[in-house]
Amino acid sequence: MKRPQRTPTKSTREELDFELMMDLERQKMDEIRKMRSHERVEVQVDIEVRPGNASDHAIAPIRATTNDVSAGGCAMISPVPLGVGDIYQLRFDRQKLDVPVVFARALRCRLLRENAFEIGLAFFTEISLGSATTPAKKNLLD
């Protein structure tokens, strides 16, 4: 037997509308950036991407370029897509960004144009960005 649904009263509907409007107001980009756990740094660094599995290391590495990097992840542009959910080994150009080899999971991959994919990765261990301190102007992982 189907239960009758309650129809919200005018005051309940107005309260809900007000709450929804306040929630939208809080969703401005500056507010969203404040909630991030790590500040992003806009830096273009060459990066070598290999599969995270040791048995797949014979596969030729993918050469990509970062758009931004944070202690917890990065966004990069790659000529080939990565598998979302897959794990990769990342080697940054140490002359531009002196961080060790890290393992990361691909969180998203978006086609920008032929042979250009925007990829968001989350590191398994946080990195220290050292001298790379220019805050990112454009957050591609949003």
Instruction: Give the CATH number of the domain where residue 86 resides.
Output: 2.40.10.220
Overall domain count for the chain: 1
16 within a domain of the structure (yes/no): no
pLDDT digits (tens, 9 = 90+) for 17-32: 788 777 776 666 555 5
Question: What is residue 18's predicted lDDT score, i.e. its pLDDT?
Answer: 81
| Average confidence (pLDDT) over 54-76 | 90
User: By residue range, what is the domain housing residue 106?
Assistant: 41-123
CA neighbor of 88 nearest in space, from 65, 61, 70, 115: 61
Report how far residue 53's alpha carbon sits from residue 86's, in angstroms, rounded to the nearest whole number.
10
CA neighbor of 47 nearest in space, from 7, 82, 18: 82
Q: What is the DSSP letter of 78?
A: E
| Average confidence (pLDDT) over 98-119 | 94
pLDDT at 133 over 50: no
